[in-house]
Homo-oligomer: A and B are copies of this chain.
Amino acid sequence: MNQYWSRRIQNIVPYTPGEQPKERKFIKLNTNECPYPPSHKVIEAIRAAAGDTLRLYPDPECTELRAAIAKREGLDMGQVFCGNGSDEILAFAFQAFFDSDREVVFPKITYSFYPVYTDFFGLKRREVPMNPDFSDPIDLLCGKNGGVVLANPNAPTGIAVGLGAVEKLLNANPDVVVIVDEAYIDFGADSAVKLIDHYPNLLVVQTASKSRALAGLRVGWAMGNENLISAMRCVRDSINSYTVDRLAQAGAAAAIEDEEYFQSIRRRIMDTRIWAEKTLKGKGFTVLSSQTNFVFVSHPKHTGRELLDGLRNKGILVRWWDKPEIRDWLRISIGTDEEMEALVKALDELI
């Protein structure tokens, strides 16, 4: 019992973010950041916004940024909500749509922040076992639920489901909100945004952190029916009305508008991923079929922990979880071609 701490946090196990090393220079393949810099238009927009107007509060409604997203996605502005990264968006959504007496369901192997949210917000959860091939157990998410969360593509597996599976979930859970977390959608899978006009219970969450190369800027957004977006606003205005600062709004809007640069870097990352998958399979690794900017791999003769530590000693950070189902697996972010060649060389020496 920690004096002064509320009951809410006495026993919570918070999320552990991936290591952000400060001293030594690592090849950083541990947090799914983009290996390429943001568009130069983003930098220009931020530098232009860095001036006297910083003394004024930002636009709480992120009007220009929402307009850029709505235009790109073919939505109305009232169907878009912006926040401080998709983690904040998810935290708001859990508070906006889920109640303590109903079970929130999600796959057992998925983004490790979801169970933290259910614990912290006092919600019940049911974690559904994966299919044997690590794909998402869609049928088992279709029972009587108090809410559904699906990362598509999933992390850390990297596996995506098609829109048919998403529609199945939406139809099977018409009375509750289905959150589709599309943090990695731009690396090959099909976005559920086009379903928004047909399903009032669909909330799609995306981020500028991965395919827009802006993890350091903290911008995420939710897209859905206007009623759901109003609920998100209601949560925000009960916590902190201005979560996206002036520089982040300007930079993210410029990123959304630079479609050409976006296409070029996501294409490069996907090409490198295809090369990495093929190369690692050739070395005897099992590699799940990824539609993300990372690969999830295991080796028949080496534990995940062994490879994690070995790579770290060679100056390469990757991500590993101490969970029974995935203890023998590593999640490796896709870096530049040079970084991935260094990874393959290091693994070669370890196996």
The interface of chain A, by Cβ under 8 A from chain B, is 2-9, 12, 14-18, 20, 22, 28, 31, 33-38, 42-43, 46-47, 50-60, 63, 84-85, 87-88, 91, 95-99, 116-117, 119-120, 175-177, 200-201, 209, 213-218, 227-228, 231, 233-248, 251
Contact = CB atoms under 8 A, between A and B. Distances in A.
Contacts of A2: 227, 231
Given A9-B235, A31-B57, 16 more contacts: A5-B96, A6-B95, A6-B96, A12-B234, A17-B60, A18-B57, A43-B50, A43-B54, A47-B50, A54-B213, A87-B239, A87-B242, A117-B239, A120-B239, A216-B247, A245-B245
A87 B241 contact: yes
A208 to B, nearest CB: 10
B37 A57 contact: no
Given A37-B51, A227-B4, A56 B216 contact: yes
Contact of A209 (B36, B57, B85, B244): B57
A31 B22 CA distance: 38
Contact of A4 (B38, B55, B228): B228
Nearest to A87: B240
B241 A57 contact: no
A200 to B, nearest CB: 7
Interface centre among A17, A22, A175 (most CB of B within 10 A): A17
A239 to B, nearest CB: 5
A117 B96 CA distance: 15
Contacts of A120: 235, 238-239
A9 to B, nearest CB: 5
Nearest to A45: B50
Contacts of A12: 234, 238
* 4 closest cross-chain pairs (CB), A and B: A14-B237, A37-B52, A216-B246, A120-B238
A9 B235 CA distance: 7
> Chain A's interface: helix, strand, loop or mixed, by majority?
loop
A20 B240 contact: no
Contact of A201 (B4, B95, B248): B4
B238 A9 contact: yes
A177 B4 contact: yes
A50 B50 contact: yes
A42 B54 contact: yes
A91 B239 contact: yes
Nearest to A91: B239
B217 A176 contact: no
B95 A4 contact: no
B5 A217 contact: no
Nearest to A50: B46
A29 to B, nearest CB: 12
Interface centre among A3, A9, A22, A228 (most CB of B within 10 A): A9
A97 B4 CA distance: 6
A213 B238 CA distance: 24
A275 to B, nearest CB: 21
A9 B54 contact: no
A16 to B, nearest CB: 8
A98 B216 contact: no
B84 A240 contact: yes
A243 to B, nearest CB: 6
